[in-house]
Structure 1
Amino acid sequence: MPSSGTGAVTRSTLRQQIADALRDEVLAGRLQAGQEFTVKEIAEQYGVSATPVREALVDLSAQGLLEADQHRGFRVHEYSVEDFRGMIEARSLVTDGMFQALDNGHKGYQNLDDPRTAAVVAGVRRRGEEAQRAAGAGDLTILIGYDLRFWRELSSLFGNPYLADFLNRLRVQTWVCTVQHLRRQTDLRGRLWSGHSELVDALAQRDTATARSIVAAYNTHSLSLIEQLGPVGGAVQNPGGRKPDGSPRGPGERGASG
C-alpha cells in the first residue's frame, strides 16, 4: 500500500487533473454558462471518487469559473458584459504595472536581450506566432491555449510569480467570458486579436509606449466585440463535459486549449 504521503500527492494530482479538465471544458464552451451539475455526476463521468472532484470544483469556484449552490451542486458562472469591462480594467492595471517596472528598471525584470533568457523569449515568440495563426484561422480553442501560454510566459519575465499568477487567472476568466459570448458565432476569421508578435517586439526594444498602445488597442477591440454580441443566454446541457463523440472525458484528458 502507498504511504500516506504518496496518497496525498496522488489525490492532489488527481484534483488538479480534474480541475484542469473541467476548466478546459468551460474554455472550449462544452460546459456552458448556467449549466448545472453535481459532484456525483462529475465523479461518475470521470470514474473517480467524490473527494478530489469536490476539491476541484471548490478550486474552480474560488477562481470565479463556477458557482456553488448548497442544494443543487455547482453551475458554470455566467459573465455579463459589465463583468468583462471589470476584467479588462483589472487586466490593464496589471499589464501597466509590468510596463512601469520595465520603465523603472525594476531589478526583478529579466532583460529580454540577456542570453540567459533567450530561450524563454524565443518560446514566448513561438506561442505568439501560433496564437496569431489560430486567430487568423478563426480557431478560438487553439487560440486560447496559445494565448494563455504566451501571456503566462511573457509575464514570468518580469520576475514576480504572484503577478504572473494573478494575470493568468484574469486571462482565464476573460477567455471564459469571451467563449460564452462567441460560441454562437460560426466564422471568427479576421475577428480575433493577433498582435502578439508586435507586443514582443516592442518589449524587446523597451518601447513601453508602443506596448501600451498595442495592449490598449487589444482591450478596445475585445470589449467592442463582446458589446456587439450582447447577453449570453441559452445554455446547452452536457453534465461533466464530453468528448466530441459524446463519450465522457477523463480527468487526464484535456481539451485542445494548448
Structure 2
Amino acid sequence: MPRSSGNGAVTRSTLRQQIADALRDEVLAGRLQPGQEFTVKEIAEQYGVSATPVREALVDLSAQGLLDADQHRGFRVHEYSVEDFRGMIEARGLVIEGMFLALTEGRPGAVRPDDPRAAAVVAGVRRRGEEAQRAAAAGDLTVLIGYDLRFWRELGACFGNPYLADFLNRLRLQTWVCAVQHLRRLTDLRGELWARHTELVDALIARDNDTARSIIAGYNAHSVALIERLASG
C-alpha cells in the first residue's frame, strides 16, 4: 500500500479505502486473529500514514461487522460464533431467494441470464465461477475467497436491485470472515470447499430455478456442516 505523500497525490479517501482493503485482507488471510486488539496509532505507524484515514477505515470495517470498537482500547477483530454463522447463512439464503424471484417476475432492471444481450455479463460471471472452482479444487482459500466474492457481487448485480446486491455482498464477506477462523486450521483444504459456481450459472441461464434453489440449499448445508465439524474438533 502506498505511503502518504506531501504532494497530495494520494488523497485521504484513497488511503482510507486502501487501509480498509488491506486490513480486510489481513482478517481473511487469518493474519489478524479473532479478538486481536490494535490501536489507530499502531496501524498508522505500520502503514506510514496519518491517523485520520486509519480511524476512518477502522470505523468503516466496524460498520461492516468485521471489527469491534472500544473507546478506551481501540479496535479488535470481531469473534463470530457458530450460531452467528448459521444465522448469516440463513439470511444469505433469504436474500438469494429474493433475487431468484426478481428473475422469475421479470423485475425492471434485472439482467436475465437467458437474454442474448446479457451474454457478456453472464460470461464474466461464469469466468469468476470457473476461477473460484479451480481455487477450491486446489484448496487455495485466499484465491477462492477473492473470486467467490467477485462472482457473487457480479451475479447479484444482474438482479436489478442494488440494495439486495450490497446486502448479499456484506453477508458473504461476514460469512467468509467467520469461516476463515475455522478453515485456516486445516493444512489441506482440497475436497472441503464448495465448488458448484458454474452449475448455478447454468441453471439460471436455463431459467431452472428449482435446480438453482437445490444447488444453493446444498451449498448452505455443506457450509454449516463443515464449520460445525471444525468448531467441534
Contact preservation (8 Å) 2:136, 2:194: yes
Partner of 2:171: 170
In structure 2, C-alpha distance between the alignment counterparts of 1:41 and 1:205, rounded to whole Å: 52
CA shift at 1:231, angstroms? 6.5
Q: TM-score, normalised by structure 1?
A: 0.85
Give RMSD over aligned pairs.
1.7
Contact preservation (8 Å) 2:114, 2:204: no
In structure 2, C-alpha distance between the alignment counterparts of 1:184 and 1:111, rounded to whole Å: 40
In structure 2, C-alpha distance between the alignment counterparts of 1:103 and 1:129, rounded to whole Å: 25
In structure 1, C-alpha distance between the alignment counterparts of 2:226 and 2:49, rounded to whole Å: 40
In structure 2, C-alpha distance between the alignment counterparts of 1:68 and 1:231, rounded to whole Å: 29
Whose relative contact order is higher, 1 or 2, with alpha carbons under 8 Å and at least 6 apart? Answer: 1
Contact preservation (8 Å) 1:31, 1:76: yes
Partner of 1:207: 208
Partner of 1:256: none
In structure 1, C-alpha distance between the alignment counterparts of 2:117 and 2:91, rounded to whole Å: 31
Contact preservation (8 Å) 1:39, 1:73: yes
Q: Which runs of 5+ in 2 are unaligned?
A: 1-6
In structure 2, C-alpha distance between the alignment counterparts of 1:56 and 1:115, rounded to whole Å: 41
Percent identity reads: 82
Q: Structure 1, residues 56-103: CA drift from partner, whole Å, max 9, x if none?
A: 000000000000011111000011000000100110110000011112
Partner of 1:112: 113
CA shift at 1:16, angstroms? 0.8
In structure 2, C-alpha distance between the alignment counterparts of 1:168 and 1:50, rounded to whole Å: 28
Contact preservation (8 Å) 2:114, 2:207: no
Which structure: greater helix fraction? Answer: 2
AA partner of residue 167 (structure 1): L
AA partner of residue 227 (structure 1): E
SS class of match (2:11): helix
Contact preservation (8 Å) 2:58, 2:67: yes
Q: What number of residue pairs does the alignment pair up?
A: 227
CA shift at 1:111, angstroms? 1.8
AA partner of residue 35 (structure 2): G
In structure 2, C-alpha distance between the alignment counterparts of 1:28 and 1:116, rounded to whole Å: 38
Contact preservation (8 Å) 1:181, 1:231: no
Partner of 1:36: 37
In structure 2, C-alpha distance between the alignment counterparts of 1:35 and 1:208, rounded to whole Å: 42
In structure 2, C-alpha distance between the alignment counterparts of 1:83 and 1:167, rounded to whole Å: 16
AA partner of residue 174 (structure 2): Q
Q: Which runs of 5+ in 1 are unaligned?
A: 1-5, 233-258
Contact preservation (8 Å) 1:81, 1:231: no
AA partner of residue 117 (structure 2): R
Q: TM-score, normalised by structure 2?
A: 0.94
1:48 maps onto 2:49 in alignment: yes
CA shift at 1:109, angstroms? 1.4
SS class of match (2:188): coil
CA shift at 1:219, angstroms? 0.3
SS class of match (2:159): coil
